[in-house]
Structure 1
Amino acid sequence: MILDCAVIGGGPAGLNAALVLGRSRRKTILFDDNKPRNAVTSESHGFITRDGIHPQEFKRVAQEELSRYPDVRIEKQRVYRINKENTFFQVETENGEVYSAKKIILATGFKEVLPDIPRVEEFYGKSLFSCPFCDGWELRDRPLAVIANDQKAFHMAKLVSNWTNDLIIFTNGNKILSLEEQELLKRYGISINEKKIATFIGENRMLKKIQLEDGTKVLREGGFISAEWKQAASFDSTLKYTLNEHGGIETDSWQRTNTEGVFACGDTRISGPSQLIIGAAEGSMAAISVITALTEEKFNQDKQPLKRRIYMHHPHGKNSKEKVSYLESPERRKEFSPEQLLNMIPLKETDSILDFGAGTGYFSIPVAKRTTGKVYALDIDAAMLAIIKEKSLKEQLSNIVPVQGSMEELPSPEGTIDMIIASLILHEIQPLGPLLQQMRNVLKKEGHLICLELEPKGSSDKGPRITLEGMEREMKEAGFQVTEKYFPSESLYMLVAQRRD
């Protein structure tokens, strides 16, 4: 299956993106490695109707809502690699599974790097935080600390003063504030301590005191830390998106990165922590942008003159040289990559394959690289088989067996083949029923027939066509059960059918 969109990241931004995509009937997978930045916190705030909710409960409710939409699936595993091949993105997970997607939404978030102070992680998320808008209310009117060793101290102290009149800035041994800034802060009752912090003191993750290296203990019951932030994503990628000066992914107002087809939202774009509701809103905007882009691409394709559309069926009336030029054209490979289609089918590494109407080995060569079984490349044209033989020698593939034969009579004995691949060829066979019955017979029990065809679109001088419904009906009558239906492009369909006994 080719996804409309792969959403990477299961936080508020990714969840809301998946929701909007699902409600728009777009095939979507949300990849979530279940390592949220807010795992250390017990409450989330600032999200209307969900103020004070536990982060895990927030996620549970969100995933339950996503389950209502059949086009959305959640994969609880880490994405290992993302690459772009032709017109699609290949998303590989840590389990070795590969998914193809038209668009990518990056919602992987940021993760904090806390200052190197003993016990800081013990109190972080319970009485020490990074976002006053998220957690300032719970610390209101207490003696608080701002812990920062850079210019953020001045800005953060001004913000935190909205929740308390008892505030001290701890610069942890650094002199970072100008005399003018110090005077202004002192005027508003904000103290500054430039001594190095030795440790934090408290119980049950609740801060009571800050101990300095000279032994002084300062009463503080909470505070805010200016942490360093970096991208949480850890996957390999050839995506060349641009980062801003703070390490966030640069986008335009539609959440589009400079890499076509890649969108970013939430903390991963904002370059730091934000409220849940802001991340969710960005996810919604990214999803709307994806849907808009997919819709425009569909209608722009359909506006092209028919004479300029690239059809990928059997090249009627062409000589061998023209056939080769057509079958090997970069345009054809760009519009439907055999490697991407092979990712969708239930191919096992020991399967024996019959490539029916093999042509120049468009499927025979790549499928032979994925199985140790024999790959029988069947074609009526000896010139095509010579090309396949030459390719197999060049690729050092010893499991390809070129077979010249009729398209109406299969050369394989009954019950010997695991999978038959018929790419843009079955529409040539009239009547089709007897051939499909032969195919069923040569397949082993539970063997598969993979059928790739073009949907008919009005009148055409390009030769015969067969609709998906017509093909499915023919297969059923011949003893097959269609188990999967895919649409690799706007005009192509692919059926995965299994022998029924």
Structure 2
Amino acid sequence: MNNEWDCIIVGGGAAGLSAALVLGRARRRTLVLDDGEQSNLVAHGIGGLLGHDGRPPAQLYEAGRAELAQYPSVSFRAARVIEAKPDGDGFLVEMADGSRDHARRVLLATGMQYRPPQVAGLESLWGGSAFHCPFCHGWEVRDQPLAVLADGDRAVHMALMLKSWTDDIVVLTNGAALQDDLLAAAGITVDHRVVSEFHAEGGELTEVRFTEGAPLPRRGVLVAAVLHQRSHLAAHLGVTFAPANPVAADAIVVDQFQRTTVPGVFAAGDVSVQMPQVAAAVASGSLAAAAVVQSLLADDVGLPVPAWPAPDVQQHWNEHYGQRDRVWSGRVNLRLSEVAEPLTPGRALDLGCGEGGDAIWLASRGWSVVATDVSQVALQRAAADAGELLSHIDFQHHDLEVSFPEGDFDLVSAQFLHSKIPLDRARVLKRAAAAVAPGGLLVIVDHGEAPPWSNHRHVEFPSAQEVVDSLDLDDGWERVQVGPVAREATGPDGQPGHLIDNVMVLRRT
């Protein structure tokens, strides 16, 4: 078997099959790998797809595979992909059965996992009486009494959108407070009670039940479901994810040609969601495939194409910190406090200071601190939080791959200096080591493994020893502590978790 492909498409849903059709018609050797777990398979039908309106999703995918069979350059294989990584001028893709294939390009069309609120009865109604998109399912429940399960601004937006299909709408905040004049003006009721069950008869919603009070008769519910990556491949390949928003927790960033920030890797469909519906997925798959063909021709015959998009580091981190009023807890990192607490205060450098928790803690203990970050949003927030300690902290804006603070320091700290976008950590950490004054400490704390609430749960982080080895230190260093340490922690939304930190404490002798 020839395992060399022009493009491997991971995912055989609407986006993946659409892309394969375009690639097949362009006579490009294409392999579609699919595990058969499309999120919309539970839906009664596809709404709003020209030529297939109301058709069950499984029938659409079967018809799509049949169409691909007439193109000899396209192969379809039922398989689960467990790894994809750069390999020479292309990519190596490995399946769960141990087989491997090589491709010049990879197109991620793995779809997303919809995570609606955990309320009794909702899961069995999903794709029918309970739905996430009024354009896909609103027609089937038109003029019926409907509910919207959401809170905040998203509840207002979703409820007002639903007015195109019915005038009988009740917003269910499930215990959250919500006041909005737009809803009242539109004749939309808000029910703040905690929902206990979506009760169904014959597979259809009949009423919403609450922890207290009378039930609410309803025939359908529009649900604010958050989309999450279903596959870890995007994280393994190192693509950039967009900051979390109310619709998607970790959508892949793509440009107008469906190109990710990793050269040679494309993404289409819900993974890079703009509008999570089948018609949009078909369109994005077609566009991605056309871009794949052109990128291959650029390599083969010099076809002029736009330069591959480079990630905007500052924009990414400004958006990351701008997504909420407070991203981190404001407390000092535990490992840094353990190391620095007994030290005599001197001059400290905090690399990737974020919202300033470590820098402020060090300053409160008498240290003179230079704190750097690439995000102006984070630095402004940190400076505001510092208060009277600001006179002891010099917050500096640096992209550490481009510029670095001047001077020598008694303590240089790099706490969880990981990045979702490409970062030459070894180069940055070598510069950090060079900034340590004689007798001073370099303190590096990394994730030993991804936190359980992270989007990168399947990413393998380097060991503490591997990080130290990458620094190429001379004999003038003492290894005070190098290894993993366990701790219990709480995630950004209150989730408990068991974490492993890789701790490296090195003294310059």
Aligned partner of residue 6 in structure 1, secondary structure: strand
Alpha-carbon deviations, 1:313-335, whole Å to 9, x = none? Answer: xxxxxxxxxxxxxxxxxxxxxxx
Alignment of 1:2-21 (within 5 A): 2-21=4-23
Tell me by how many angstroms 1:235 deviates. 4.1
Pairing partner for 1:250 from 250, 253, 265: 253
Following the alignment from structure 2 to structure 1, what is the Cα–Cα distance between the partners of residues 11 and 173? 34
- Contact 2:160 2:186 survives alignment (8 Å): no
Q: Aligned residue for 2:226?
A: 228
Q: Aligned residue for 2:42?
A: 40
Q: Aligned residue for 1:268?
A: 271
The one-letter code sitting in structure 2 at the alignment partner of 1:171 is T
Aligned partner of residue 151 in structure 1, secondary structure: helix
Alpha-carbon deviations, 1:251-276, whole Å to 9, x = none? Answer: 110111110000011110016x6221
Following the alignment from structure 1 to structure 2, what is the Cα–Cα distance between the partners of residues 140 and 196? 26
Following the alignment from structure 2 to structure 1, what is the Cα–Cα distance between the partners of residues 198 and 235? 40
Alpha-carbon deviations, 1:87-119, whole Å to 9, x = none? Answer: 120000011000000000011111111211111
Following the alignment from structure 1 to structure 2, what is the Cα–Cα distance between the partners of residues 23 and 3? 15
Q: Aligned residue for 1:344?
A: none
Tell me by how many angstroms 1:150 deviates. 3.9
Alignment of 1:317-466 (within 5 A): none
Following the alignment from structure 1 to structure 2, what is the Cα–Cα distance between the partners of residues 85 and 44? 38
- Which protein is bigger by CA-based radius of gyration? 1
1:185 is aligned to 2:183: yes
Pairing partner for 2:114 from 112, 115, 118: 112
Q: Aligned residue for 1:92?
A: 94
Aligned partner of residue 73 in structure 1, secondary structure: strand
Alignment of 1:279-294 (within 5 A): 279-294=281-296
1:57 is aligned to 2:59: yes
Alpha-carbon deviations, 1:143-202, whole Å to 9, x = none? Answer: 000001343111100101110000000000011x3x4x2x22111110001110011112
Give the 4+ runs in structure 1 shifted more than 6 A: none
Following the alignment from structure 1 to structure 2, what is the Cα–Cα distance between the partners of residues 44 and 236? 27
Q: Aligned residue for 1:156?
A: 158
Aligned partner of residue 164 in structure 2, secondary structure: coil
Q: Aligned residue for 2:32?
A: 30
Aligned partner of residue 249 in structure 1, secondary structure: coil
Q: Aligned residue for 1:218?
A: 216
- Contact 1:146 1:169 survives alignment (8 Å): yes
Distance 1:159 1:46, change over 3 A: same
Following the alignment from structure 2 to structure 1, what is the Cα–Cα distance between the partners of residues 11 and 41? 14
Distance 1:60 1:259, change over 3 A: same
Aligned partner of residue 161 in structure 1, secondary structure: helix
Tell me by how many angstroms 1:215 deviates. 3.8
Aligned partner of residue 43 in structure 1, secondary structure: coil
Tell me by how many angstroms 1:237 deviates. 5.8
Following the alignment from structure 2 to structure 1, what is the Cα–Cα distance between the partners of residues 121 and 112? 22
- Contact 1:80 1:236 survives alignment (8 Å): no
Distance 1:150 1:205, change over 3 A: farther
Alignment of 1:202-213 (within 5 A): 202-213=200-211
Pairing partner for 2:148 from 146, 149, 152: 146
Alpha-carbon deviations, 1:441-495, whole Å to 9, x = none? Answer: xxxxxxxxxxxxxxxxxxxxxxxxxxxxxxxxxxxxxxxxxxxxxxxxxxxxxxx
Q: Aligned residue for 2:84?
A: 82
Q: TM-score, normalised by structure 2?
A: 0.57
Distance 1:34 1:6, change over 3 A: same
- Contact 1:82 1:237 survives alignment (8 Å): no
Identity %: 35
Following the alignment from structure 1 to structure 2, what is the Cα–Cα distance between the partners of residues 64 and 6? 18
More relative contact order in 1 or in 2 (CA 8 Å, sep 6+)?
1
Following the alignment from structure 2 to structure 1, what is the Cα–Cα distance between the partners of residues 257 and 279? 17
Following the alignment from structure 2 to structure 1, what is the Cα–Cα distance between the partners of residues 38 and 152? 26
- Contact 2:91 2:105 survives alignment (8 Å): yes
Tell me by how many angstroms 1:294 deviates. 0.4
Q: Aligned residue for 2:123?
A: 121
Following the alignment from structure 1 to structure 2, what is the Cα–Cα distance between the partners of residues 274 and 205? 25
Tell me by how many angstroms 1:232 deviates. 1.4
Alpha-carbon deviations, 1:423-452, whole Å to 9, x = none? Answer: xxxxxxxxxxxxxxxxxxxxxxxxxxxxxx
Following the alignment from structure 1 to structure 2, what is the Cα–Cα distance between the partners of residues 197 and 135? 22
Following the alignment from structure 2 to structure 1, what is the Cα–Cα distance between the partners of residues 85 and 220? 44
- Contact 2:146 2:166 survives alignment (8 Å): yes
Tell me by how many angstroms 1:238 deviates. 3.6
Aligned partner of residue 68 in structure 1, secondary structure: coil
Following the alignment from structure 1 to structure 2, what is the Cα–Cα distance between the partners of residues 131 and 156? 9
- Contact 2:147 2:169 survives alignment (8 Å): yes
